[in-house]
Amino acid sequence: MQKRKLGKSNLEVSAIGLGCMGMSFSYGPPKDKKEMTDLLHTAVDRGITFFDTAEVYGPFLNEELLGEALTPYRGKVAIATKFGFDLSGNDNRPGAAGLNSRPEHIKQAVEGSLKRLKVDAIDLLYQHRVDPNVPIEDVAGTVKELIQAGKVKHFGLSEAGVKTIRRAHAVQPLTALQSEYSLWWRKPEQEVIPTLEELGIGFVPYSPLGKGFLTGKIDENAKFDSSDFRSTLPRFTPEALKANQALIKLLG
């Protein structure tokens, strides 16, 4: 497995990472814990050293899964997790209460993630989504404090625009920017990727296989149950799936 250093940082990870959300969240019901543990172990055996999770996945279940499964590989793998959703309130749907990147919430989220992941420091901490109610400078400043305290090693953003990237980077240098990027979503090429190259920030694409569509295993007759978030996405309506089969044929 090839390795990459994210941007100008010293964080070296496998060129291919494993996004773990679907093991516990969003792609149907949570999967069997033993099967997912075996999958994670197999990934490490095959050279994967970069794993992605978030407190909202479950919520909390995905971090707990990784914390247990990857304990034997401490020091050999890097785990990225995320904060930024309000997980309080009576609505059990993860993130239903909206965004929350207030400094006190970030610190609380980090303490929870450290316990669930069973680590002393988070390798890479992303803001999951930009919170319009909290200046990004306050977010970056809070993460900077957590880095100085030894609880976080690297800072990243997810789905942030170039102005936000620049403002955050000026307070606490960013190691990585995460964004959806694939053959059917190439918008980051317009402004985001050039900005990252300029500033020396790593780029971590998610859904490189188009949430499964680009595998060619999803046709126009595919049905998604209510526990699968693709059931709510315009790109996964029968009409869109039918129209986009042309892309699959081109790739084939």
Return the active site residues. Answer: 57
Contact, 204 vs 13, CB < 8 A? no
Other Cβ atoms within 10 Å of 169 Cβ, number: 20
Is beta strand 18-19 parallel, antiparallel or unpaired with respect to 12-14?
Answer: unpaired
Contact, 93 vs 59, CB < 8 A? no
CA atoms within 13 A on the CB side of 131: 25
Contact, 203 vs 196, CB < 8 A? yes
Distance separating alpha carbons of residues 189 and 9, to the nearest angstrom: 22
Phi-psi region of 113 (alpha: psi -120 to 50; beta: other; left: phi over 0): alpha
Distance separating alpha carbons of residues 52 and 40, to the nearest angstrom: 11
Reported for 27-33, long-range contacts at CB under 8 A and 24+ positions apart, including other chains, are 27/228, 27/229, 27/230, 28/225, 28/227, 28/228, 29/227, 30/58, 30/61, 33/65
